[in-house]
Amino acid sequence: MKRLWNWNHDGDQRQLSISGVIAPDSWVNDDVSSQVFQDELNDGQGPIDLWLNSPGGDCTAASRIYSMLMDYPNDVNVKIDGMAASAASVIAMAGTTVLMAPTAMLMIHNPLTIVGGQKKDLDQAAQMLSETKESIINAYELKTNLPRAKISTMMDDETWMNVNKAIELGFADEMLGQDKNITDCYSYSDKQSNLVLLNKLKPTTNLTTSVKSLQKRLSLLSH
């Protein structure tokens, strides 16, 4: 069994990372890997941060992971810090929220396979790929609410999306780091530091008024 995932804990927050090729050895005939993943997933409680960086891989493994994450009773916050391409993009769709780094990429395309044999074998493979595509569209449609025909065309064209495009089309929800306090960042810039220093060096205006001046004004008001 080749592990493509790792678990970490940050206090009460569960951290799951999936990186590299999704199951180089297909999960089609592998019941062990999927069972281990499910057991570890269900071995804890609370929300999960899923850090995802993968060029894709086995559709069966991606489908199993997607289904398990969708069935998880708490929030799954997917954080794409590199790429989520091909089968990895299917896993990303299981996120309660999907966040992408400013430099991250997401890619969707048609499933592919390698097959040999007679015409009937090729026909069966083509039919299998067609149905696999429809099942993948199901996951994209649930997340984005885009028309199936549009998603199908995007897959035909092998569509790459940066974070802004992914958010626009509904494949992602937010940009990672978007909630940082911009004011705090500027307070450490050279320009801001110079402005603060110049303001401190400016002469202050004496706004105090003498008692004699106040008495004179009051006497004028009494007339």
pLDDT average per 10 residues of sequence, the chain (223 residues)? 82 90 74 86 94 94 95 97 97 98 97 87 90 97 98 97 98 88 42 48 52 58 54
In the numeric block, the tokens 């409680």 are attached to 45
- Distance of alpha carbon 14 from alpha carbon 101, whole angstroms: 20
pLDDT score of 98: 98
Region of 159 (left: φ > 0; alpha: ψ -120 to 50; beta: rest) is beta
Global pTM reads: 0.77
* SS3 at position 208: coil
pLDDT score of 157: 97
- Label the pairing between strands 5-10 and 13-19: antiparallel
First to last CA, the chain: 100
Q: For the chain, what are the domain ranges?
A: 5-175
Domain 5-175 CATH class label: alpha beta
CA angle in degrees (0–180, nearest 5) for 46-2-7: 20
pLDDT score of 16: 96
